[in-house]
């Protein structure tokens, strides 16, 4: 093939863009569908791609009227759950990370190994007994019961902070210690400010995980007062429950529940990438 | 910190820094909240799960009753267990392998610098912000069957297939691959990021030199790119494996409930069903032990594979 280097480059960029659009097409479809009329969505011959006319009222139906799918309460629950779980877990992980990276004590290796092993035993595999423990502590259908078992999954975060804090120069800690600073002061004045990039990466990944979590809320938050957004949209979207939510209102509901994360993702994308790879991607 | 010498023993360094510092007490205090919560909600459930697997118990009826190996005897005789293990392995295999291959391709495709590369990469990564729940609802529409076609089937139809599959619905053949497609779509962003990071550590100069020496695209992949990113493949596969393990519950619970005729009943969904629908916690715990062994076994296989291929 006799194509100039430049032409080949353009072809490649064209393909890269095309594939990218294809991969995010379901999301575009979700937004387009949320603005269509229901007749258009249910057209029986050719599926519609572009709304004939824009039906913004679908979004009003999400929050009111007979087809109401999302209650403000669900939004608040999702926020409380996410902020609570990530906030508590961050506190545990950054202090734990400092302990196992810079402090000297006997059981360091045991603890590190245990945390590492826990990464391969995700909650979904220990669901039954985690639920039992939670139940026996009387935490069933309470905010602490929703939040604490998730905050307790400290393996990933602690090891992430450990890796980051290990790279901080030893002399920094020695000097501060010699000036009489105790470890709590070190944590507050030195580690937390210096580990800000690690915190950003950790928060980006953990917030997404918590907001999107379905399984744990499903088993522990059975009372409608405690349900989070993922539970709500699944419930209203389930044709088996006899409650028929129009498809366009359902799309609008999905957009509303995912929009906060989409927008947040656009902002934290570099931190997300850094958290996964341990470094940046150019 | 291993600068021990005889001089140090006789005279400690100025400034009074103890030669072998021990932070035991401060460490214990600072680690305590982390370890206590971890113990209660992670460690105890793991150990407790193993113990519970030797008992018969319904959470709302009296205390657990020790039954020895009874649950395991039932487990090995239960045809639904074999079925669920098979479905789970099929789901993981049909999902993880394509995820690894496709994500490497995608990473190579976007490992190019141009003005809007940031924007284009966002298109690749944005599905990572979606939950299984939200994706399930969107894809249920895309996978829709009759009266006309769903979007996916319509596109397949455009390519000349007259009888496109009945995804997620009544077909025992296509329900599971349907769930895999959704999970692959959700797993690609993370996998692509990981491969992209590995790709960017391959110096451009090596690739350019190879091109000048007349190495075509295939040879460049075979002899330069693949050796450069091979180490990352294990991590990509592990991350995908864990994502698919989660997906094997969420998507099944939301979309198929194990139907048609158990064709999508994964082990995790079976466990959930036994515990929360039938109240058989002891049996569910025994099944969970099997599930953990299954994941452990797969991780071991991955490790062995990576050892062999890196030789």
Confirm if B189 and B182 have CB atoms less than 8 A apart.
no
Q: What is the pLDDT at residue B146? A: 60
CB-CB contact of A250 with A58 (8 Å):
no
Mean pLDDT for the stretch of residues A239-256: 83
Q: Within this chain, do residues A265 and A225 fall inside the same structural domain, yes or no? A: yes
- Model confidence at A242, in pLDDT bands (50, 70, 90)? low
Instruction: Quick: pLDDT tens for A113-150.
Output: 999 999 999 999 999 999 999 999 999 999 999 999 99
A239 vs chain B: nearest CA distance in angstroms?
10
> Is B18 a residue whose pLDDT tops 60?
no
Determine, for residues B134 and A258 on separate chains, whether the beta-carbon distance falls below 8 Å.
Answer: yes
Q: Report how many domains make up chain A.
A: 2
* Chain A, nearest residue to B127 by Cα: A24
B9 vs A137, residue with greater confidence: A137
> Any idea where the domains of chain B sit in the sequence?
18-70, 71-309
CA angle at B30 for the pair B25 and B33, rounded to the nearest 5°: 125
pTM score, two decimals? 0.90
The average confidence (pLDDT) of chain B is 87
pLDDT attached to residue A88 = 97
**Same domain (yes/no): A29, A82:** no
Distances (CA, A) of A210 to A92, A113, A120, B243, B277: 16, 25, 18, 14, 25
Tell whether A48 and A178 lie within a shared domain.
no
Helix axis angle, A108-118 relative to A155-166, nearest 10°?
130
Q: What are the structure tokens assigned to A110, written together?
A: 């045991």
Test A95 with B123 for CB contact under 8 angstroms: no
- Per-residue pLDDT tens over the stretch B50-68: 999 999 998 888 888 999 9
Q: Would you state the structure tokens that stand for residue B243, as one six-digit string?
A: 């994502």
Q: Give the C-alpha separation, A237 to A253, whole Å.
A: 10
Task: Assess if residue A209 is contained within a domain.
Answer: yes
B308 min Cα distance to partner chain A (Å) = 22
Residue A6 has pLDDT above 90, yes or no: no
pLDDT in tens, A62-115: 888 888 888 999 999 999 999 999 999 999 999 999 999 988 888 889 999 999
Distance between B73 CA and the closest CA of chain A, angstroms:
20
Give the pLDDT confidence score for residue B13 in this predicted structure: 46
**Could you tell me what percent of chain A has a pLDDT over 70?**
96
Burial letters B92-128, b for 16+ CB under 10 A, else e: bebbbebbbebbbebbbbbbeeeeebeebbebbbbbb
Identify the residue whose tokens are 């028929």. A244
A15, part of any domain: no
CATH number of the domain within which A160 lies: 1.10.3720.10
Tell if the CB–CB gap between B122 and A269 is shorter than 8 Å. Answer: yes
Residue of B nearest to A261 (CA): B129
- Taking the Cβ of residue A176 and every Cβ of chain B, the question of whether any pair is shorter than 8 Å is answered with no
- Does residue A17 belong to any structural domain of this protein? no
Question: Whole-angstrom Cα distance, residue A206 to residue A88?
Answer: 11
Looking at the complex, does the CB of residue A21 fall below 8 Å from at least one CB of chain B?
Answer: yes
Residues A188 and A141 in one domain: yes
Q: What is the pLDDT of residue A44?
A: 64
State whether A32 and A158 are in the same domain: no
**Are residues A50 and A171 part of one domain?**
no
For residue B138, give how far its alpha carbon lies from the nearest alpha carbon of chain A (Å). Answer: 6
Query: Phi and psi (nearest 5°) for B57?
Result: -160, 135
Interface test with B, best of A36, A124, A251, A275 (most B CBs within 10 A): A124
pLDDT, mean of residues B5-12 = 39
Number of helices (H) and strands (E) in chain B: give both, helices first: 14, 2
Tokens of B119: 């924007």
Q: Which of A13-27, B77-91, B215-229, B235-249 has the lowest mean pLDDT?
A: B215-229
Residue B3 has pLDDT above 50, yes or no: no
Per CB-CB distance under 8 Å, the chain A contacts of B254 are: 214, 234, 238
Q: CB-CB: which of B43, B113, B299 is closest to A120?
A: B299
Pick among B34, B118, B235 to test the A interface (most A CBs inside 10 A) = B34
Mark whether A44 and A160 lie in a shared domain.
Answer: no
Please give the pLDDT value at position B52: 95
On whether the CB atoms of residues B150 and A47 are closer than 8 A, the answer is yes
At residue A18, the pLDDT reads 94
Q: Same structural domain for residues A113 and A242?
A: yes
Instruction: Look up the ipTM and state it.
Output: 0.91
Tokens found for residue B223: 């002899």
Q: For the segment B229-286, what is each residue's pLDDT rounded down to a tens digit?
A: 988 999 999 999 999 998 889 999 999 888 888 899 999 999 999 999 999 999 999 9
Q: Is 90 exceeded by the pLDDT of residue A152?
A: yes
* B227, pLDDT greater than 60: yes
CATH placement of domain B71-309: 1.10.3720.10
Q: Give SS3 for B216.
A: coil
**Tokens, residue B216:** 């075509």
Structural domain contains residue A1: no
Question: Residue A133 sits in which domain range?
Answer: 72-277
Residues contacting residue B160 through CB under 8 Å, at least 6 positions apart:
none
Interval B140-147 mean pLDDT: 78
The answer to whether B26 contacts A103, with C-beta atoms less than 8 Å apart, is yes
Q: Would you tell me how many other CB atoms lie within 10 Å of the CB of residue A101? A: 21
Q: What radius of gyration do chain B's Cα atoms show?
A: 26
Cross-chain residue pair B124–A20, CB shorter than 8 Å: yes
Per DSSP, B12 falls in state P
Q: Could you give the percent of chain A with pLDDT greater than 90?
A: 62
């Amino acid at each position: 093939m006799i194509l100039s280097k430049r032409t080949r480059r353009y072809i490649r960029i064209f393909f890269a863009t095309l594939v990218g659009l294809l991969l995010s097409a379901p999301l575009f479809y979700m937004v387009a569908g949320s603005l269509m009329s229901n007749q258009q969505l249910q057209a029986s011959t050719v599926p519609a791609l572009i709304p004939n006319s824009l039906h913004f009222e679908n979004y009003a139906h999400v929050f009111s009227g007979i087809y109401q799918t999302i209650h403000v309460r669900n939004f608040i629950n999702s926020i409380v759950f996410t902020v609570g779980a990530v906030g508590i877990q961050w506190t545990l992980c950054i202090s734990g990370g400092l302990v196992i990276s810079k402090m000297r004590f006997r059981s360091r290796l045991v603890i590190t190994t245990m945390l590492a092993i826990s990464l391969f035993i995700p909650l979904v595999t220990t669901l039954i007994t985690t639920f039992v423990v939670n139940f026996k502590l009387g935490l069933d259908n309470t905010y602490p019961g929703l939040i604490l078992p998730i905050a307790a999954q400290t393996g990933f975060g602690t090891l992430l902070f450990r890796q980051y804090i290990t790279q901080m120069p030893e002399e920094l800690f020695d000097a501060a210690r010699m000036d009489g600073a105790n470890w709590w002061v070190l944590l507050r004045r030195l580690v937390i400010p210096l580990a800000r990039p690690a915190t950003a990466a950790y928060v980006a990944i953990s917030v997404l995980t918590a907001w999107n979590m379905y399984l744990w809320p499903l088993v522990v938050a059975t009372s409608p007062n405690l349900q989070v957004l993922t539970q709500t949209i699944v419930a209203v979207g389930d044709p088996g429950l006899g409650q028929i939510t129009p498809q366009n209102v359902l799309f609008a509901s999905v957009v509303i529940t995912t929009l906060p994360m989409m927008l947040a993702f656009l902002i934290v994308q570099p931190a997300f990438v850094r958290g996964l790879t341990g470094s940046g991607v150019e | 910190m291993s600068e021990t010498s005889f001089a140090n023993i006789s005279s400690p360094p100025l400034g009074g820094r103890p030669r072998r510092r021990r932070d035991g007490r401060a460490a214990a205090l600072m680690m305590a909240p982390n370890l206590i919560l971890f113990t209660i909600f992670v460690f105890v459930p793991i150990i407790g799960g193993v113990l519970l697997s030797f008992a018969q118990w319904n959470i709302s009826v009296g205390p657990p009753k020790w039954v020895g190996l009874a649950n395991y005897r039932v487990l090995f005789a239960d045809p639904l267990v074999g079925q669920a293990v098979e479905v789970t392995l099929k789901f993981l295999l049909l999902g993880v392998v394509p995820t690894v291959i496709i994500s490497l391709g995608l990473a190579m495709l976007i490992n190019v610098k141009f003005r809007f590369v940031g924007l284009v990469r966002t298109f690749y990564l944005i599905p990572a912000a979606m939950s299984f729940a939200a994706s399930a609802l969107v894809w249920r529409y895309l996978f829709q069957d009759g009266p006309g076609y769903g979007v996916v089937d319509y596109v397949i139809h455009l390519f000349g297939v007259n009888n496109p599959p009945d995804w997620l619905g009544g077909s025992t053949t296509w329900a599971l691959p349907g769930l895999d497609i959704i999970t692959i779509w959700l797993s690609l962003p993370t996998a692509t990021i990981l491969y992209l990071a590995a790709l960017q550590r391959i110096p451009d100069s090596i690739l350019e030199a190879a091109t000048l020496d007349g190495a075509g695209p295939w040879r460049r992949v075979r002899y330069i790119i693949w050796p450069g990113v091979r180490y990352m493949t294990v991590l990509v596969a592990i991350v995908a494996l864990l994502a698919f393990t989660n997906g094997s519950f969420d998507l099944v619970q939301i979309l198929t409930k194990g139907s048609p005729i158990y064709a999508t009943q994964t082990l995790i969904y079976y466990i959930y069903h036994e515990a929360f629908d039938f109240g058989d916690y002891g049996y569910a715990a025994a099944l969970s032990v099997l599930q953990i062994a299954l994941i452990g076994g797969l991780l071991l296989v991955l490790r062995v594979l990576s050892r062999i291929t890196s030789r």
